[in-house]
């Protein structure tokens, strides 16, 4: 474990773990309330998931003008996004700008990995242990570690024997990777793979894509943001932000209340076509029942499959790329630039692992279905131990020394996604049990940060020392989250939302599917009732 302190450490009001979108705003907000805060960040700079995910083609699938903070009018007026969808370097620059503009860095320790956080019931304090440094002691422990921050590397047989470099998209080297003249293999066709593949195809001599499950992807229709569009957005920012916060998905997708099953096929196709042309998640807002009724979902899925057939020249390759095993949207839909078109290149091959299973990685490549694919480099776009990975990899102990990871053996249990029974004064931001990954993360993060900051202010103003979720409220919330998910098509996919991508991980649907609007209402009711469902002492 950790070094013992030579002198009693100073008592902080809050330790915040993680300096991504969530941790930075949390720091700013609590500091404004006069609290002493230290942010601990494993990376060497701000950014969180955007710091690590710097693979070629990395780009957000939410539009830049929406995937940004709304809490400072000056900031949103002065920052100039250059593209409709921001690429990783631009998001990184934006967050670095925020850190500098609000003088956040002086309270952030970079290159600092948290190993443990233990709660002491007698003093009502958290001791937060850091790798190679003295521990910190604080009243509140705030977990801003992100949902997609622990890369998942599959145990591919023979991987250690491969002679060339192996890179995971989630921990890409800061210096970049030069693939020119190389034969590159990519394993994984989720959002990361689908973004990286067209760019890698440009760079490599030959690209081989090893696909296990085909995925639905919609075109981003990305492009430069012109001055007039930006001017209009900025002129109407308050209204745009209000609408986003009041939308179930945390961004205004132009959702309708009409059901696809009530509309004739011709009209439905026309609506899908219009939204396809707009690009991005707009398609998901076309009808209210797309994630509720299999017939509605079949209609939109069929539309996307037809689009794939139109784009991909070789009919056999097109068939292999058609997603058929899950409802559209039940796995996070991907947003791409030229993904399916990439398979029309002569220097790109698709290996269908369902047809030709991956047998082994060898020193010189990958053997699948009896065929050797010679490679100089391998890219793993194989995803994350999502939602609970970062929370459980730290040894967190609450009252009576109980371990969070053990308590969550059968899946994460939270009240509102924010608190855990037995773990007083610990807040989880945008984690399991909250809408988080099913929404525009920045909107959800802002809601969580503001709720948490207000909660701490309430405790301090009223002389309370601790807040802790009640076991019964937590039980009811977990049941509610599960019931809501069961009413949708989401559980019909083997997705990371369910933990299905990590061998041995308990299958529990983790995010709250009810949408941000309902969720925020519930959080507000809880606060207005003096934090009902929590014990405040």
Interface with ligand NAP by CB under 6 A: which residues?
Answer: 59-61, 148, 154, 156, 169, 187-193, 195, 212-213, 332, 335, 353, 358, 381-384, 437, 496, 501
Of 424, 469, 215, residue with least CA distance to 328: 215
- Shortest CB 127 distance to ligand NAP, Å: 32
- Shortest CB 189 distance to ligand NAP, Å: 4
The nearer residue to ligand NAP, 9 or 154, going by C-beta atoms, is 154
- Shortest CB 164 distance to ligand NAP, Å: 18
> What is the number of H-type helices and E-type strands within the chain?
15, 20
Q: 528 vs 345, 503, 523, 533, CA distance in Å? A: 59, 41, 9, 12
The nearer residue to ligand NAP, 94 or 384, going by C-beta atoms, is 384
The nearer residue to ligand NAP, 2 or 213, going by C-beta atoms, is 213
Instruction: Map residue 129 onto helix, strand or coil.
Output: strand
Q: Which residue is nearest to ligand NAP (CB)?
A: 190
The nearer residue to ligand NAP, 37 or 197, going by C-beta atoms, is 197
The secondary structure element, H or E, covering residue 374 is strand 371-374
Strand arrangement of the beta sheet that strand 371-374 belongs to: 358-362, 365-368, 371-374
**Distance (Å, rounded) from C-alpha 374 to C-alpha 22?**
42
The nearer residue to ligand NAP, 330 or 418, going by C-beta atoms, is 330
The nearer residue to ligand NAP, 12 or 437, going by C-beta atoms, is 437
- Shortest CB 528 distance to ligand NAP, Å: 32
**Distance (Å, rounded) from C-alpha 11 to C-alpha 138?**
5
The secondary structure element, H or E, covering residue 195 is helix 191-203
**DSSP code per residue over 514-531:** T-HHHHHHHHHHHHHTTS
- Shortest CB 497 distance to ligand NAP, Å: 9
The nearer residue to ligand NAP, 159 or 288, going by C-beta atoms, is 159
Question: Per the structure block, which two tokens stand in for 334?
Answer: 């991907």
- Shortest CB 28 distance to ligand NAP, Å: 24
- Shortest CB 286 distance to ligand NAP, Å: 20
The secondary structure element, H or E, covering residue 141 is strand 133-143
- Exposure of 443 in the CB half-sphere (CA atoms within 13 A): 29
Of 180, 207, 154, residue with least CA distance to 501: 154
- Shortest CB 515 distance to ligand NAP, Å: 17
Helix 441-461 and helix 516-528, axial crossing angle in degrees, nearest 10: 0
- Shortest CB 121 distance to ligand NAP, Å: 37
The nearer residue to ligand NAP, 188 or 424, going by C-beta atoms, is 188
Instruction: DSSP letter for 534, please.
Output: E
**Exposed, middle or buried: residue 426 (CB in 10 Å: 0-12, 13-18, 19+)?**
buried
The nearer residue to ligand NAP, 12 or 361, going by C-beta atoms, is 361
């Amino acid at each position: 474990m950790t070094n013992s302190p030579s002198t009693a450490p100073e008592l902080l009001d809050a330790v915040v773990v993680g300096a991504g979108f969530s941790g930075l705003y949390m720091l700013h907000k609590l500091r404004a309330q006069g609290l002493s805060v230290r942010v601990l960040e494993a990376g060497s700079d701000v950014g969180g998931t955007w710091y690590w995910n710097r693979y070629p083609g990395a780009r957000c699938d939410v539009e830049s003008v929406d995937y940004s903070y709304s809490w400072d009018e000056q900031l949103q007026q002065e920052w100039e996004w250059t593209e409709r969808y921001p690429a990783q370097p631009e998001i990184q620059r934006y967050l670095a700008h925020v850190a500098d503009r609000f003088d956040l860095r002086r309270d952030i320790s970079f290159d600092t990995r948290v190993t443990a956080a233990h709660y002491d019931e007698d003093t009502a304090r958290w001791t937060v242990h850091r790798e190679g440094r003295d521990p910190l002691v604080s009243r509140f422990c705030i977990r801003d570690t992100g949902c997609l921050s622990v890369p998942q590397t599959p145990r591919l047989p023979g991987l250690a024997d491969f002679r060339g470099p192996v890179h995971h998209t989630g921990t890409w080297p800061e210096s970049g990777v030069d693939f020119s003249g190389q034969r590159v293999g990519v394993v994984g066709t989720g959002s990361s793979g689908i973004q990286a593949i067209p760019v890698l195809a440009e760079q490599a001599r030959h690209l081989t894509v090893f696909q296990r499950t085909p995925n639905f992807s919609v075109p981003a229709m990305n492009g430069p943001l012109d001055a007039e569009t930006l001017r209009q957005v900025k002129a109407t920012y308050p209204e745009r932000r209000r609408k986003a916060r009041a939308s179930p998905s945390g961004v205004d997708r132009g959702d309708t209340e009409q059901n696809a099953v009530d509309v004739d096929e011709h009209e439905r196709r026309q609506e899908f076509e219009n939204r396809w042309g707009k690009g991005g998640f707009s398609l998901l807002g076309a009808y209210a029942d797309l994630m509720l009724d299999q017939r509605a979902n079949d209609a939109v899925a069929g539309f996307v499959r037809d689009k794939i057939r139109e784009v991909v020249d070789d009919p056999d390759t097109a068939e292999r790329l058609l997603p058929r095993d899950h409802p559209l949207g039940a796995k996070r839909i991907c947003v791409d630039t030229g993904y399916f078109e990439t398979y029309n290149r002569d220097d790109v091959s698709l290996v269908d692992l369902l047809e030709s299973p991956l047998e082994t990685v060898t020193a010189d490549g990958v053997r699948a279905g009896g065929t050797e694919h010679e490679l100089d480099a391998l890219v793993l776009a194989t995803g994350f131990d999502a939602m609970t990975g970062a929370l459980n990899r730290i040894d967190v102990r609450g009252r009576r020394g109980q371990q969070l990871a053990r308590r969550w053996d059968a899946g994460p249990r939270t009240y509102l996604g924010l608190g855990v029974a037995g773990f007083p004064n610990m807040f989880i931001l945008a984690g399991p049990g909250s809408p988080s990954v099913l929404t525009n993360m920045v909107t959800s993060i802002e809601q969580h940060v503001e709720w948490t900051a207000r909660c701490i202010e309430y405790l301090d103003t009223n002389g309370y020392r601790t807040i802790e979720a009640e076991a019964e409220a937590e039980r009811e919330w977990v049941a509610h989250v599960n019931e809501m998910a069961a009413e949708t098509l989401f559980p019909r996919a083997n997705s990371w939302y369910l933990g299905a991508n990590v061998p041995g991980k308990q299958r529990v649907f983790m995010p709250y599917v009810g949408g941000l609007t309902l969720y925020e209402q519930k959080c507000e009711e809880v606060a207005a009732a003096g934090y009902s469902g929590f014990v405040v002492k």
